Amino acid sequence: MLSNPLQVNRDSIILRPDQTRVLLRPFAPGGSQRFTSAIERIMELSEERVAEVLRLIAAEFENRHQGTCQIFLDRYEQVRCLLATEPEISETRKHLIGATFMAEYSLESAALFNPSIVPHPDQSDLPVGALRFILSLRATGEGHISSITFRTGVIHADNRLEVMTPNGFLTEPKQLPNPVYEKALFSRKLTELGLTREFTRRVMSRLGDTFSLEDLRDGLRADEFLLPDGMAQAELMTLADREEAKSVWILARSNYEVQFQPEQQLSERVLFPATPSQSNGIEDARFVHFYNDDGTCIYYATFTAYDGRAIMSQLVETSDFLRFRFATLNGLAVENKGMALFPRKINGLYAMLSRQDGENISLMYSDNVHFWNERKVILKPKYPWEIIQIGNCGSPIETPAGWLVLSHGVGPVRKYCIGAFLLDLKDPSKVIGRLKYPLIRPDQSEREGYVPNVVYTCGSLLRNGNLIIPYGLADHATGFATVRLDELLEAMTPADAPA
């Protein structure tokens, strides 16, 4: 394999998973009978004993979490329907019932990796020449469930990197009222998913041009068709209808919004799986600072939702990292992983890199950021270090020479390396340069981890002529590297050069 003549500077900063960063999450010990039995045992305790147990819980956990009393009370409201009767219950007993069905979850007990980096929306109170950034990370905990967590940092005028130490309490956002759905777009997605049975057509005919989640629930329940999420099913509903109803419901639930409070530091905010399609993880978010035609900006991130069996490409958008809107990505070309948006429209259209076939990089255009129907392969594996597959490592970066894209390549012994290629600014379907050799390959200090011999990034940042590359180490931790842009561009060879 060719050696890398480029000077790639690895920073001493390493972000490692911290098992002390814990989140309070609902705990389900089993079926409804397990809930009922535990509640009955709590109801048999005296008020004095309930108060004593709750005092011990408070002493042990109040310094680890914020607002535990309200968290416990909210959880009680979720399980109160399991009470055999609804007697007068003291607030103390309600809190104990709620606490019984909560558990601590160590957010990053297994890994903290696959980062992306974007400029922070707040650039106030910084030294001259410095830039504040947001780092998104894939945190993996118990059960190998992944979520999105954040760090803030600063690139100083002398190019020194600083990543702020996270502190405070980890917090999930408040889920906002469900959005309004457009019937035409929702029906279009149903067709793409093959949800076209007479049952579904009948449900959609009951809805207006726009509808809410409650409207959809009512449509599914009409004529005694009940939702397949724990409720009894009508006898006249076939098994195929039940499965279709479940799929319609999951699609709707995959579109939602959440809100954090401004006083919560960014490192305290966690985007944890919240829908059936995400139940086994939110993976590899690729954030991009997107410039709209009117000069305003928004942050988009493409990510992979995983339910334990199937993956679904989804999109999240935010303007302030306080309010996030989650939506499905739709269209015939929405397949597989690794989709990355360009940071602005090209010739009036959104543009996206993708890898539908698992091997090659494609380019897509669309007039709607949520719908993608056509793709064109623009780059295939060529060199030994990428001979199995290639894919993007985040959104393209605009430079005077062209669109710079970091890539990943998989070679012999399943070794993942980071490479780079260059696309024409006006016509990104034209590849005008690529590296023959890896830009970053796992060195001896980076190759050991959850998945050996892997370096991988979901996004980099150009600053002061330097490309700042945060990258995952062996699917376990996160490091940082810097390379001069001019040297990287100079190292590119023509796309048609022999291997």
Cα–Cα distance for residue pair 145/137, rounded to 1 Å: 13
Query: Do residues 96 and 242 both lie within one domain?
Result: no
What pLDDT, in 10s, does the model give residues 471-494? 999 999 999 999 999 999 999 999
Per-residue confidence of the chain (499 residues) as pLDDT tens digits? Answer: 456 778 999 999 999 999 999 999 999 998 888 999 999 999 999 999 999 999 999 999 989 998 999 999 999 999 988 877 667 899 999 999 999 999 999 999 999 999 999 999 999 999 999 999 999 999 999 999 999 999 999 999 999 999 999 988 999 998 887 778 889 889 988 988 888 888 899 999 999 999 998 899 888 887 544 444 544 444 456 788 888 888 898 888 888 999 999 999 999 999 999 988 899 999 999 999 999 999 999 999 999 999 888 888 899 999 999 999 999 898 889 988 899 999 999 999 999 999 999 999 999 999 999 999 999 999 999 999 999 999 999 999 999 999 999 999 999 999 999 999 999 999 999 999 999 999 999 999 999 999 999 999 999 999 999 999 999 999 999 999 999 999 999 999 998 888 7
Is 331 within 8 Å of 339 (Cβ atoms)?
no
Query: Do residues 13 and 58 both lie within one domain?
Result: no
Query: Residues with Cβ < 8 Å from 124, sequence gap 6 or more?
Result: none
Is 372 within the bounds of a domain? yes
DSSP conformation letters of 15-27: B---TT-EEEEE-
CA 460 from centre of chain? 17
Is 496 within the bounds of a domain? no
Query: Do residues 82 and 119 both lie within one domain?
Result: no
Query: Do residues 120 and 206 both lie within one domain?
Result: no
pLDDT at 236: 54
Is 450 within 8 Å of 474 (Cβ atoms)?
yes
Query: Do residues 225 and 354 both lie within one domain?
Result: no
Is 162 within 8 Å of 189 (Cβ atoms)?
no
DSSP conformation letters of 267-322: GGBEE---SGGGTT-EEEEEEEEEEPTTS-EEEEEEEEEE-SS-EEEEEEEESSSS
Which of 373-391 are b and which e, b meaning 16 or more Cβ less than 10 Å from the residue's Cβ? eebeebbebbbebbeebbb
Query: Do residues 400 and 271 both lie within one domain?
Result: yes
The C-alpha R_g of the chain, in whole angstroms, comes to 25
Residue of 425, 462, 228, 234 whose CA lies nearest to 344: 425
Q: Which amino acid is at 372?
A: W
Q: Choose one of 220, 253, 286: the last residue of a domain.
A: 253
Is 3 within the bounds of a domain? no
Is 50 within the bounds of a domain? yes
pLDDT at 247: 87
pLDDT at 303: 96
Query: Do residues 132 and 98 both lie within one domain?
Result: no
Query: Do residues 276 and 410 both lie within one domain?
Result: yes
Q: Choose one of 215, 238, 253: the last residue of a domain.
A: 253
Query: Do residues 311 and 170 both lie within one domain?
Result: yes
Query: Do residues 267 and 249 both lie within one domain?
Result: no
Query: Do residues 216 and 266 both lie within one domain?
Result: no
The enclosing H or E element of 398 equals strand 397-399
What pLDDT, in 10s, does the model give residues 21-79? 999 999 999 888 899 999 999 999 999 999 999 999 999 998 999 899 999 999 999 99
Question: Distance of CA 215 to CAs 181, 311, 454, Å?
Answer: 10, 27, 47
Is 290 within the bounds of a domain? yes
pLDDT at 250: 84
Cα–Cα distance for residue pair 316/235, rounded to 1 Å: 39
Is 497 within the bounds of a domain? no
Query: Residues with Cβ < 8 Å from 131, sequence gap 6 or more?
Result: 119, 120, 123, 154, 155, 463
Is 340 within the bounds of a domain? yes
Looking at residue 465, which CATH number applies to its domain?
A: 2.115.10.20
**Which range of residues forms the domain containing residue 210?**
181-253
Is 58 within 8 Å of 68 (Cβ atoms)?
yes
Residue 172: burial class (beta carbons within 10 Å; 0-12, 13-18, 19+): middle
Is 33 within the bounds of a domain? yes
What is the tally of structural domains in the chain?
3
Query: Do residues 343 and 442 both lie within one domain?
Result: yes
CB atoms closer than 10 angstroms to residue 429: 13
Q: Choose one of 106, 128, 148: the last residue of a domain.
A: 106
